[in-house]
Chains A and B, each alone.
Chain A
Amino acid sequence: MSLFIAIAVGLLMGIVFGFALEKSRVFEPGIIVGQMQLRNFIMLKVFLTAVATGAIVLAVLNGFGLVKLQPKAALYAADMVGGLILGVGITLAGACPGTTLAQIGVGYRDALFTLIGGLAGAAAFSYAQPWLNKTLLASGDGKIIFTDLIGIPYWLGALGFAAVIVFILVQLERWRSWHNEMGRDVDGNFSTSPRTPVRSRRAGKAAIRT
């Protein structure tokens, strides 16, 4: 395939991806921080729905032999350390590496700093990679998937996994309807006061003093 076609396909897919991220509101800092503070579950709903859909799609495509799976190697130490650092970054950014671009698209100015920080972080990792490769990234189990461990075909495990996710989502939606998790400006912001509690407290003290 030519690079030109790959870039065209990437742009088209990205536009659909960005559209879905914006419509789902999962790119909003209020939705991401709200999820991590366990008071908003839109992120989990979008995420699990996309995982279940992907599992069903791949069960069919792989089950009929149309595509090969592309799992990443299991490097437990790297997955844990990297995942923890990534998680802290996601919360403080109010974004993931992908949704940072969606934030830029809708005009969030701080997301430009997230992007620049991300490029710097990727470059810093690149310098450290030759050394990390011999240490943290060295040992693992290869590209293993759960269905290989229990000895059933991937398609069967993937469909079962999707069914479990659908069950969880039905319960989640019954517990908290997504309609109530958006906020007035569909940004996961539920505060009516434009001021921070800290500021208003300070302002209150100042008022008493004068």
Chain B
Amino acid sequence: MLKVSLRDKAWSPYVAGILIGLLQIPAFLIIETALGASSSYVTVGGLITSWVDPSILRIDYVAKHVAATVKNWWQVALVVGIAIGAFLSAKLSGAVRKPISPIWSRALGSASPNRRYFVAFAAGFLMLFGARIADGCTSGHGLSGMAQLAVGSTVAVAAMFTGGIVAALLMLRRI
């Protein structure tokens, strides 16, 4: 019998994957949308930018994302919840993480935290710039788009893995 405890350090990827897939039920039934994560960056990023440059709110795209709608703020709450859930899970299993994963000193060929912070910032920028061009990320196009057999999402996921694999082979050292 498969034993799964909240205190485990790791679950089978299949147990965790099923749990994530089941989240489509409340998403579709209660919120009438599919799981996604990257739109929330426009909501929060647009709001923060508007403190410095209020004119950003005149861009329709931003206005649509910061509006007080169920879907916009459900997704912001979802990604905040992800941080809380991961925190709780790590606390329950007693996992302790270093401030930077040990793989980065090898992957980047340098143990300098500043170098890692710079790469992380640039990576985050690329990630969201790309996700917004494609209109979705690993969740929206990946989990939800593929499950719905969406043609565009399948193209986006193929491109995602292509870009990811090429970058991992050309820009990072073997971990």
Contact surface of A with B, Cβ cutoff 8 Å: 1, 3, 6-30, 33-39, 42, 45-58, 61, 66-76, 78-111, 113-127, 129-130, 132-133, 136-137, 140-141, 143-147, 149, 154, 157-158, 161, 169, 178, 182, 186-191, 194-199
Contact = CB atoms under 8 A, between A and B. Distances in A.
Contacts of A104: 83, 86
Contacts of A147: 149
B124 A116 contact: yes
Given A50-B21, A87-B164, A117-B121, 19 more contacts: A1-B30, A14-B77, A17-B81, A17-B85, A24-B11, A51-B142, A58-B148, A70-B33, A72-B152, A74-B151, A101-B82, A105-B84, A106-B86, A117-B128, A119-B124, A121-B125, A125-B129, A127-B56, A157-B149
A96 B137 contact: yes
Interface in B154-175: 154-169, 171-175
B98 to A, nearest CB: 8
Interface of B: 6, 8-35, 37-38, 41-42, 44-46, 48-49, 56, 59-62, 65, 68-71, 73-90, 93, 95, 97, 99-107, 109-111, 113, 116-169, 171-175
A140 B82 CA distance: 33
A72 B83 contact: no
Contacts, number: 590
A47 B19 contact: no
Q: Which of A10, A61, A93 has the largest count of B CB atoms less than 10 A from its CB? A: A10
A20 B20 contact: yes
A191 B101 CA distance: 12
B19 to A, nearest CB: 4
Nearest to A71: B150
Given A71-B145, A113-B117, A132-B133, A87 B86 contact: no
